Amino acid sequence: AMMANLGWLAQVNHFHFGGDISPSTSTSFESIANASPFDAIGMIPDAGFYQILFVIGAVEGYQEMIQPHYTLPGGSIGDLGAARCNPEALPRMQAVEVKNGRLAMLGMASYIAAATIPGSVPNIPSFFIPH
């Protein structure tokens, strides 16, 4: 959810790399950046989408290999190893990570609601909504 927030903000503010995302289909990063977040997902070529899934899976797999799953004894929640440096800080860092994750999920729900139902999120700045 936290990465989804960054992706949404980059998309609605038209951030993009130079060049083509797929030279074989002549799809440029710029053309995807100019689309709404909902349309942009469909514009990514299948091979690119599978690359994204592979990277996410590789990172998750690596995390599972270096530390126990957070539901098991000794596991920690998405800390990327920071909490293992100071055992006294682990409970606080786990609580902070859960709270940040919840805020990120609420943020994404707000972006989607504001983009699909105009006026549903009062006082939301315009740089959060596709235009």
pLDDT tens for each residue of 76-90: 555 555 555 567 777
What's the chain's average pLDDT?
82
What is the band of 108 on the pLDDT scale with cuts at 50, 70, 90?
very high
With tokens 């130079």, the residue in question is 18
Quote the pTM value: 0.69
Q: How far is CA 53 from the centre of its chain?
A: 12
Interior CA angle at 98 toward 92 and 99, to 5°? 90
Locate 111 and state its tokens: 């972006």
Task: Note the pLDDT of residue 53.
Answer: 92
Q: Are 107 and 4 in contact (CB under 8 A)?
A: no
